[in-house]
Amino acid sequence: PVSESYSPLSWDTLLSRGMVSTQSFTRAQIEAAFANTKVAARDPLAAERPNEMALQVHVALVSLPAIGRNLLDNDGWRLLATNRRQAQALLVTESGPMSSMRYESQRILDELPFELRQNGQALKMRVMSYDKRLQVPGYPESVKAHFLIVDNATPLDPTLPFELDLKWGRRFFGIANQVVYQSFPLQYNFHGWRSAWYGFWDTPWSEREWFKTWRYRDLEILMLLSGLTVLTAVLVLQKRFSAVVSRLRRWRAIYLMFTVGFIGWIAQGQLSIVNITAALDELRHGGDLSFFMNDPMTVILWVFVAFTLLVWGRGTFCGWLCPFGALQELISMVTQAVGLRHRRLKSALDQKLKLIKYVVLAAILGGVWFSPSFAEVAVEVEPFKTAISLYFVRDWPYIAWAVFCLGLSVFVYRGYCRYICPLGAALAATNVLQRWSWIPRREACGTPCQTCRHRCEYQAIDRQGEVNYS
């Protein structure tokens, strides 16, 4: 549902903000379009006044309350809502000496004189009868308004660009009555960031759908923020908390259970490579990231992760806040308690295996641009949806893959995270953004001391004592 709130705007303001677009065609442009056809040179005034405006067309996405509520009175808005039934609707106006689009008759006798496309797909439309003039202050008397309802069978996404063409027909008479059509593109750019920006200011906070969602989940948000505050305190005071190893391990086990149980299974806050691919796909098609606002857990976690990438690197998310990663580690704790030990791989093999996740990441991101259908399948390399979002209630191949990834951690510490995870690869690529070296070093690190290298279960410390965050 869309908020019904809006701020009153004049016709000129709607035009200046791009909420209503204007397209003008001169007599010369129209004649040029029909040149070299059987209906060329039909306008006798084109040669005398070629630059005279012959037709002016306005286009607006009237189903947006910020636009539609300004153009229509209350009765008109209710009529539009009844006719469109949650579908999108366009306003098309015409004025000028050659404005001769007879919508009501053409609806019965001919095809609708418009073609609407989005992402290469033709969208069907129908005309809504509306005899009253627009109610917005400053609306020209000479402008005729017509309303086009997009068919729900071929829905229009109002956040993405679309193409609307006016089909202008001229009849000629031979053996049968025939028509030559030419298409005139009608530009409309009020979508994506622009519509989100004006919607942001024109709609009160309490009326915004995402705000209602955040209010509904206020307890979960409070618990998440409390957990992030505690984690931040622990990382800032790392020396104090790591002074007693047994205490740190107990506290870490408790926090990992919080991550799996609350962040993952209850709050559904598992960050995923799907967040990145969805954002890239949306931006690629001219949209924005406002859809994230409907998921407060995802927004809060990504903001926190973005900040911690600059301070502590990707280890904050991968080591503490990833529910699937936490589940792997908890399983490892149990198996180690019963006597199973992780296998430590040779350094050369470990480094080669770590390259796999970057190949997986490249394949997924490439698919977003070149093969979206492949990308949709490739993201299933992440078992997060199966193990966390759907609680293992899924078809057996997905369950088998998730169990394999978890089982791998019994033998190789966080094997999935280290060698397969595309999200981990994406976060590791941001290591160049890390501004602080927060792990203290001693002169003996690497030469001769090798204690940390041998104790690090991630095998992330090289012989020189340097930490490799890849």
What would the pLDDT profile of 342-397 be if each residue is shown by its tens digit? Answer: 888 888 898 899 999 999 999 999 999 898 889 989 999 999 999 999 999 999 99
Pairwise pLDDT comparison (357 vs 45), residue with the higher score: 357
The mean-pLDDT minimum among 38-42, 221-225, 245-249 falls in: 38-42
- In this structure, the answer to whether residues 340 and 397 fall within a common structural domain is yes
Report the share of the chain in percent with pLDDT over 70. 88
The mean-pLDDT minimum among 27-41, 75-89, 103-117, 309-323 falls in: 103-117
Q: Highest-confidence range of 237-246, 306-315, 328-337, by mean pLDDT?
A: 328-337
Checking if the pLDDT of 205 tops 90, the result is no
Pairwise CA distance, residues 164 & 156, whole Å = 12
Judge whether 451 lies within some domain: yes
For residue 306, which amino acid is it?
Answer: A
Pairwise pLDDT comparison (372 vs 203), residue with the higher score: 372
Assigned token pair, 110: 């001919």
Judge whether 1 lies within some domain: no
Residue that is last in its domain, among 176, 202, 228: 202
Give which of 289, 222, 286, 268 is closest to 387, Cα–Cα.
268
Q: What is the pTM of this model?
A: 0.62
Pairwise CA distance, residues 439 & 51, whole Å = 71
Annotate 437-446 with b (16+ C-beta within 10 A) or e (fewer).
eeeeeeeebb
pLDDT at 191: 59
- In this structure, the answer to whether residues 251 and 291 fall within a common structural domain is yes
- In this structure, the answer to whether residues 72 and 89 fall within a common structural domain is yes
What pairs with residue 296 in β-bridges?
Answer: none
pLDDT at 288: 67
Q: 455 lies in which domain range?
A: 439-470
- In this structure, the answer to whether residues 228 and 345 fall within a common structural domain is yes
- For the range 226-234, what are the long-range contacts, defined as Cβ-Cβ under 8 Å and sequence gap of 24 or more? 227/255, 227/258, 227/262, 227/263, 228/300, 228/304, 230/255, 231/255, 231/316, 231/320, 231/321
- In this structure, the answer to whether residues 196 and 258 fall within a common structural domain is no
Burial of 219 (0-12, 13-18, 19+ CB in 10 A): exposed
pLDDT digits (tens, 9 = 90+) for 429-452: 887 776 666 677 777 777 788 777
Judge whether 21 lies within some domain: yes
- In this structure, the answer to whether residues 33 and 157 fall within a common structural domain is yes
- In this structure, the answer to whether residues 248 and 146 fall within a common structural domain is no
Residue that is last in its domain, among 187, 202, 217: 202
Give which of 154, 143, 202, 239 is closest to 19, Cα–Cα.
202
Pairwise pLDDT comparison (242 vs 325), residue with the higher score: 325
- In this structure, the answer to whether residues 244 and 373 fall within a common structural domain is yes
- In this structure, the answer to whether residues 253 and 384 fall within a common structural domain is yes
pLDDT at 72: 87
Judge whether 6 lies within some domain: no
Give which of 323, 324, 339, 308 is closest to 415, Cα–Cα.
324
- In this structure, the answer to whether residues 175 and 233 fall within a common structural domain is no
Judge whether 4 lies within some domain: no
Assigned token pair, 8: 């009153």
Pairwise CA distance, residues 418 & 325, whole Å = 10
Label the pairing between strands 121-123 and 125-128.
unpaired
The set of residues, in sequence order, having a beta carbon less than 8 Å from that of 220 and lying 6+ positions away, is 266, 267, 296, 297
Judge whether 291 lies within some domain: yes
- In this structure, the answer to whether residues 333 and 429 fall within a common structural domain is yes
3-state secondary structure of 144: strand
Judge whether 328 lies within some domain: yes
Judge whether 3 lies within some domain: no
pLDDT tier at 207, thresholds 50, 70, 90:
low
Pairwise pLDDT comparison (320 vs 130), residue with the higher score: 320
- In this structure, the answer to whether residues 194 and 225 fall within a common structural domain is no
Pairwise CA distance, residues 262 & 228, whole Å = 12
Angle at 307 between CA 303 and CA 312, to 5 degrees: 135
Instruction: Count up the domains in the chain and report the number.
Output: 3
DSSP state of 135: -
pLDDT at 106: 37
Summary mean pLDDT of the chain = 83
Residue that is last in its domain, among 202, 235, 261: 202
Pairwise CA distance, residues 402 & 384, whole Å = 8
pLDDT tier at 324, thresholds 50, 70, 90:
very high
